[in-house]
Amino acid sequence: MRGTLYTKEIKRSVDEWRAKGKTYSEIGKKFNVPKSTLSTWFNKKYPVSREKQLKHLALTRPLALAAIQRRIAEENRLIEEKVAGEIKTFPLQEIGLQKAILASLYWAEGSKNGNGLKFANTDPNLHQLFIILLRQCFHPEESGFRVHVYVHHYHNIRECEKFWSELLQVPLTQFWKTYIKKRSKTKRFRKNFMGICFLYHADSKLRKEILTLAGQLHKSYIQTAPVVQRTGH
């Protein structure tokens, strides 16, 4: 498909403007010619020095970055509004939904074997959601909770222990001695906010019930999920 055809008069006028040092933006607005077309016409006839190119990039890159950041911010705002509207319709206080979320969290991040229940993660929000749902759904004996924090050399142990104790509402008397991971101070690795937190509960029956629930949820959804028809290429 052929593009727009420009008359000799327009090309001559455009050439005169460019010879006078006018920018592609100025020429494009005046004669309604895209910058890509102007670049094709003039790149060889009016070559731009490397110095001018670098100056141009120094000016345009921050503008481009700001435009991208505005676009991302707007996308995030629209998503926030959409989800905020949807979540108001969710039956969040129903015990069935709470147990389903709890089982899914434990299935992903919890221990599947051994004695008792063990949930480990570095994300405070994940831990907080898990223990809130655990208490609401199963009312475990509070004295059965234990917390074990793993830290690196750069962590302040007392601050980390205090942080997890307040977040989980588990007293420090139910914490095991914090473990300092034996890694070289010069070795590069991803830092975490307050170390790794291992939340334990002594009730093995509770772990089995939560995992059974997760398994039953999986089975129920698999049985009712529609079959996806795949076509060959």
| 60 and 143 both lie in a single domain | no
| 122 and 218 both lie in a single domain | yes
| 46 and 147 both lie in a single domain | no
Q: Give the separation between CA 34 and CA 10, rounded to whole angstroms.
A: 13
Residue in the structure block whose two tokens are 């990039």: 57
* The pLDDT value given to residue 56: 64
| 111 and 211 both lie in a single domain | yes
- The domain of 60 spans 8-83
Amino acid, res. 13: S
| 68 and 168 both lie in a single domain | no
* The pLDDT value given to residue 189: 57
Domain presence at residue 217: yes
* The pLDDT value given to residue 1: 44
Backbone angles phi, psi at 145, to 5 degrees: -75, 140
Q: How many domains does the chain have?
A: 2
| 135 and 79 both lie in a single domain | no
Q: Can you list the alpha helix ranges (DSSP code H) found in 88-123?
A: 95-109
| 76 and 142 both lie in a single domain | no
Last residue of a domain, one of 83, 105, 122: 83
Write the CB contacts of 107 (distance below 8 Å, at least 6 apart in sequence).
Answer: 211, 214
Domain presence at residue 21: yes
Domain presence at residue 88: no
Percent of the chain predicted with pLDDT > 70: 88
| 158 and 219 both lie in a single domain | yes
Domain presence at residue 211: yes
Mean pLDDT of 215-231: 85
| 150 and 36 both lie in a single domain | no
| 77 and 112 both lie in a single domain | no
Q: What is the CATH number of the domain that holds 156?
A: 3.30.1330
Condensed to tens digits (0 to 9), the pLDDT of residues 54-102 reads: 776 677 788 788 889 999 999 999 999 999 999 999 999 999 999 999 9
